Amino acid sequence: MGFEVIPAIDLRAGRCVRLTQGDFDRETRWSDDPVATAQRWTDAGAQVIHIVDLDGAADGEPKHLEVLRALRQATSATLQFGGGLRNDESVEAALEAGADRVVVGTALVTQPDWVASLCARHGDKIIAGLDARQGRVATAGWLETTTVSVQQLIERANEIGLRRGHFTDIERDGTLSGPNVNALAEVIRVAKFEVVASGGIAQLEDLEAVRAVGAAGAIIGQALYTGQIDLRQALTRMVVA
């Protein structure tokens, strides 16, 4: 599998939004039509789309499964979905609604045995969400910062046998300030699974920088919505580079 350039659709109250550093009070609304947004990214060549249910992450159960169903009807891209997936029912509901991959973050901290059972049943459909604020893992839609270090969580994911994880430096997310390449490189060094970079991607050179340290892909949000990165150009460049 080559380097994946993954556009993000963050859902809040049915709309596409971006939060600065995960702060629910610092929201930028980009579109009232998530389906049109998914079609836009698909038309540009996206093979994978990352969907975050922000309301679900905060509330502890997914809130946008109907939107996920609509997105599944609108695009042939691989859909990965996260936000509030903390029991069997929610994971099965997300998969039934059209998710090809699901992201678990909070549950990896609070219910590692359950995540292990998920991996046993669903294999590489399960992705670890490794979300960090100053080196500590954040949970519950990033509303809570735990005492668990990123390295501890990676070691737990290694033991469980997860095959892929997303690493987000929350302080970079939504800021267009560039990825935390040093932290990413350390995550990749410790992880026994593929790591996708997230947070702060602002220009094409950032994609090259995270690939150079071993990332399997990168999630792009804010930079696509502002137009700082053209998705078609990014996909082309990362294929031919």
Question: Which residues carry out catalysis?
Answer: 10, 131
Range 82-118 burial, b when 16+ CB lie within 10 A, else e: bbbbbeeebbebbbebbbebbbbbbbbbeebebbbeb
Looking only at Cα atoms, what is the longest distance across the chain? 42
Phi-psi region for residue 48, left (φ > 0), alpha (ψ -120 to 50) or beta?
A: beta
Phi-psi region for residue 22, left (φ > 0), alpha (ψ -120 to 50) or beta?
A: left
- Contacts for 92 with CB less than 8 Å, ≥ 6 apart: none
Which of the 8 DSSP states describes residue 84? Answer: S
| Cα gap 186→167, rounded to integer Å | 11
Length of the chain: 241
